[in-house]
Amino acid sequence: MTNTSPGRAATIEDVAREAGVSRAAVSKVIRNAYGVSPAMRERVTAAIDKLQYRPRHAARAMRGSSFTLGIEIPEFGNQFFTRVLTGATRALEGTGYQLIIAPAEPGSKWGYRALESLTDHQVDGIIAISPLVEPAWLERLATAIPVVMLGRHDEGAGYDTVTGDDRAGTDAVMDHLIELGHRRIAHLTIAESMIDPSLASPHAIRLATYLDRMTAAGLTEHAQVARVGADDDAHAAALDLLGGRDRPTAVFVGNDQPALGVLRARMELGLTAQDVSIAGYDDIELAAHPAISLTTVDQDGERMGERAIELLLERIKDGRSAPERYSVTPRLRVRGSTAPPRA
């Protein structure tokens, strides 16, 4: 058994002695690392709770500042993340901090390994863009290091969130398409395995809002949801969706990258915006190109990246511990990819 003196904060060594394990084992449990047995996790967690150990402050005091911040990117093919990185880099100017980028494991939908790698490199704070990482896992990570979850509407007590208002953005798209006169509106979103409604991810909210709006407009019979596992699949899915006799007159795509594949399919089928209107989400740089002219939702990725850095620095430099929730108000950018349907 371990006794700490009154007024003295428990250390990682105290926890190790209390749990009867090594200091390294305690570190692994705190980081939720791979290879930790349930029994060891239970012993260490019980010791942490008993001693009221706060690893974030102890660890940072022990090692000092590395003046690096980490950002986990789930995929480099999505140009929206380039906007986020641009904003984050801009916010770091003059701070003395450097940004370390950790790509998620190829083919992974989780991001655990990338987040662990950043922790192992002793960054001072982490921006996580992980749609399916469990909130409880993030809470444990946030006890060891400041964390900002970007793009997911969490209510975690230990970390901050930066999001766009996905319901308002989807409402803007649906208002636009319905006002143009569209009734057969389809929604192209990511694979079901990539959406967990309980985690309130952007795609889950966009899908739910689309279905709500179709129901409210009395268009339930025309609602159609198509799913793709990767952006490259969007072109093939769009050919199937638009090639049938009962094709939709409009397609709302969950983000811009796959919307480009839908635009390509429309062109190959010899269709125009009057035949099939296409709207995306994110307003990547390519969307405004005259040859693309994609109607889309701008959720200001630069501001999201910038605010995520600001929140991390508030925790690191100012000692803020209360969670912050920051939401960007989206704006619909109407361009040539949408038009009233043919009579």
pLDDT of the residue at 106: 60
pLDDT of the residue at 291: 95
What residue type is assigned to position 81 of the chain? Answer: F
Across the range 184-197, mean pLDDT stands at 86
Question: Where are the strands (E) in 165-292, listed by range?
Answer: 185-190, 224-228, 250-253, 277-279
The dihedral over CA atoms of 103, 108, 114, 117, expressed in degrees to the nearest 10, equals -120
pLDDT of the residue at 58: 43
- Helices 112-120 and 135-144: crossing angle in degrees, nearest 10, is 0
pLDDT of the residue at 122: 85
Residue 77 scores a pLDDT above 90: no
Left, alpha or beta for 114 (phi > 0: left; psi -120 to 50: alpha)? Answer: alpha
Higher-confidence position of 272 and 1: 272
Residue 210 scores a pLDDT above 90: yes
242: how many CB neighbours lie within 10 A of its CB?
A: 20
| pLDDT tens-digit series, residues 2-40 | 555 445 667 888 889 999 998 888 877 776 666 788 888
pLDDT of the residue at 62: 46
| Residue indicated by tokens 């949408």 | 338
| Residue indicated by tokens 């190829």 | 106
Higher-confidence position of 59 and 117: 117
- β-partners of residue 332 are 297
pLDDT of the residue at 34: 61
Across the range 201-211, mean pLDDT stands at 94
Cα–Cα distance list, 195 to 70, 95, 192, 254, 297 (Å): 25, 36, 5, 12, 20
pTM for this entry: 0.79
Give the confidence band of 61 by pLDDT, cuts at 50, 70, 90: very low
| pLDDT tens-digit series, residues 108-152 | 556 788 888 888 888 999 999 877 788 888 898 898 899 999 998
How far is residue 148's CA from residue 151's CA, in Å, rounded to a whole number? 10
At residue 59, the 3 state secondary structure works out as helix
pLDDT of the residue at 195: 75
Domains of the chain: 12-53 (1.10.260.40), 64-164+301-328 (3.40.50.2300), 166-299 (3.40.50.2300)
How far is residue 84's CA from residue 87's CA, in Å, rounded to a whole number? 5
- For the chain, what percentages of helix, strand and coil (3-state, to nearest 5) are there? 45, 15, 40
**Assigned token pair, 9:** 């904060």
pLDDT of the residue at 222: 95
How far is residue 60's CA from residue 75's CA, in Å, rounded to a whole number? 30
Residue 264 scores a pLDDT above 90: yes
